[in-house]
Structure 1
């Protein structure tokens, strides 16, 4: 059986590292020492976020190891996308019930493949024995003063979302129904989400505010409205639905999944109506659709949706704010 340090050397350091040109730039000291030493780009501010993924809470324990590795990094990178940050580095802590070489090889493959795709360097981490969980801390850079936030919205702003909604919930239900082919669009949306990093960077200077839709559109819209002291009006009929969602869940179920399902990792933004066409065109060049779904308003609350749905969405502790 591999020791902790042999495991790190084999799967998370050295040849397993991202080899995309520039991915490791700024890493003065990487895996293998007590700390990573990083050199940020002059004139940039750091954006840092951490996300923990637990087996049977955030992903099925028997999901493909490659998908677990990909997903653990993707959900953390999505927070950088919402800030308009360029992803640079990550550190990862994993607890494992046992050392399974085949599983670790698959996990590392999925994790490092997304590192390469997003030009992110794994700069360090930790390995322990315990129930399967993965915590990823991501570091990004933003030109000074240009970070997007949740609280910058203004009354009259157009509300818009990237991509399509409901795929996270639809993919979970597909998995529970026995679907295992990762080329199924709903299952791929659930297990292999793609963080909208390029879209987030493109929206700097256009969007007033942004948030990633990880807890569900309504829950995260409520966060955005609360941060800005505003309300919103949604056009539910305009919601872009993931491919195959209506066929799996029906029209009503698909709309509820888009509103409350969570795990979509798309961006919800507000921006001036005069900037919407420019933003949509810019994201289209990245092959990322942008759809207007409503407006911010001065009156508190979210109008246009069934009141029974307003408190649905993902919360680890339902009694308080997520």
Structure 2
């Protein structure tokens, strides 16, 4: 199968919203008056961002999901994306599964493929995504204010727990492992929640590298600090059954959660609750923004905890895949 046969067979579809999609030198996107274009890109490398054992349909899902999560954190509505693939070889079965997972998620969010590139090489996937947000309404990292509540969506830590199972550090029964592996391989981007939080949240970020590190980005950009109740961070029953030290590692520094962390004024707690109900996504209040810089951790009883956890960094943590 040649490069252009591969593209035509697995990745060419009629566009609905774009002015021009796959097949020309550039795609053309229509942007409504009064809207700003939001764009993001993520590169996934085999052995670094995903294991060789992942099913191709799940990999297709995740490749787009991590980008949709960036749009969600900005409060942007998805429009279109491009896909660049490096493949060791063109295997029909793999491509069929990958494209199925990719397009199932794309269709669910009205986001269409409009271009990209393919080449031979070690397996690598790059998606660039485009969305739109009303001018001046984007959720950003620099908007947190003292007195804001700190929230997270969903539950944290299952993806890291699955990784610890793959590493041989933890043992889980089959059904339990299947659940946490699903969280690792098929994260659910919180696009609807991001849209519902426009005009409610002051700041937002998606959780890709670990709660403490990503919250740290918000606090640094916002010029403030926070108090965080580490035991209030929501977790699954599978993770809650593990030793407390492992629970805290997975929820605070695990990464790969792709939930939203956001801040909002205490006066808007009911508005936050309405946004969560509208999006069908649970949210949990886990702390408060404070004027003093730095992140202060406490347990359920209010006792101070030392911050001994570190979030993922590609160039400082070579052991993690």
- Give the TM-score taking structure 1 as reference length: 0.91
- SS where residue 41 of structure 2 aligns? strand
Report the counterpart of residue 103 of structure 1 in structure 2: 94
- SS where residue 184 of structure 1 aligns? helix
How far did residue 75 of structure 1 move? 0.6
CA gap 1:55/1:217 in 2 versus in 1, 3 angstroms: same
Alignment pair present for 1:47 and 2:38:
yes
Report the counterpart of residue 23 of structure 2 in structure 1: 32
Instruction: Give ranges in structure 2 of 5+ residues lacking alignment.
Output: 299-304
Report the counterpart of residue 119 of structure 1 in structure 2: 110
- SS where residue 62 of structure 2 aligns? helix
Cα RMSD of the aligned pairs, angstroms, is 1.8
How far did residue 182 of structure 1 move? 10
Conserved 8 A contact 1:174-1:186: no
Alignment pair present for 1:315 and 2:317:
no
Conserved 8 A contact 1:234-1:303: yes
- SS where residue 29 of structure 1 aligns? coil
C-alpha distance in 1, partners of 2:129/2:53? 25
- SS where residue 99 of structure 1 aligns? coil
How far did residue 181 of structure 1 move? 7.1
Q: Tell me whether 31-40 or 279-288 shows the greater mean CA deviation.
A: 279-288
Aligned residues: 308
Q: Tell me whether 166-175 or 139-148 shows the greater mean CA deviation.
A: 166-175
C-alpha distance in 2, partners of 1:143/1:182? 42
Conserved 8 A contact 1:84-1:204: yes
C-alpha distance in 1, partners of 2:246/2:142? 31
Alignment pair present for 1:228 and 2:222:
yes
Report the counterpart of residue 7 of structure 2 in structure 1: 8
How far did residue 62 of structure 1 move? 2.1
Per-residue CA deviations over 1:132-164 (Å, capped at 9, x if unaligned) read 010000000001110010000100100000111
Aligned pairs for 1:27-176 within 5 A: 27-176=18-167
C-alpha distance in 2, partners of 1:175/1:10? 34
Alignment pair present for 1:206 and 2:183:
no
CA gap 1:144/1:302 in 2 versus in 1, 3 angstroms: same
CA gap 1:155/1:223 in 2 versus in 1, 3 angstroms: same
- SS where residue 22 of structure 2 aligns? coil
Conserved 8 A contact 2:196-2:278: no
How far did residue 32 of structure 1 move? 1.1
CA gap 1:237/1:175 in 2 versus in 1, 3 angstroms: same
C-alpha distance in 1, partners of 2:98/2:175? 17
How far did residue 315 of structure 1 move? 0.5
CA gap 1:182/1:115 in 2 versus in 1, 3 angstroms: farther
C-alpha distance in 2, partners of 1:69/1:116? 13
C-alpha distance in 1, partners of 2:164/2:109? 28
How far did residue 41 of structure 1 move? 1.7
**Match for residue 238 of structure 1 among 232, 242, 245:** 232
How far did residue 166 of structure 1 move? 0.4
CA gap 1:183/1:32 in 2 versus in 1, 3 angstroms: farther
Q: Tell me whether 121-130 or 172-181 shows the greater mean CA deviation.
A: 172-181
Per-residue CA deviations over 1:174-230 (Å, capped at 9, x if unaligned) read 444598879922111100001000000000000000000101000001100000001
Instruction: Give ranges in structure 1 of 5+ residues lacking alignment.
Output: 18-23
**Match for residue 292 of structure 2 among 274, 279, 299:** 299
Conserved 8 A contact 1:186-1:243: no
- SS where residue 140 of structure 1 aligns? strand
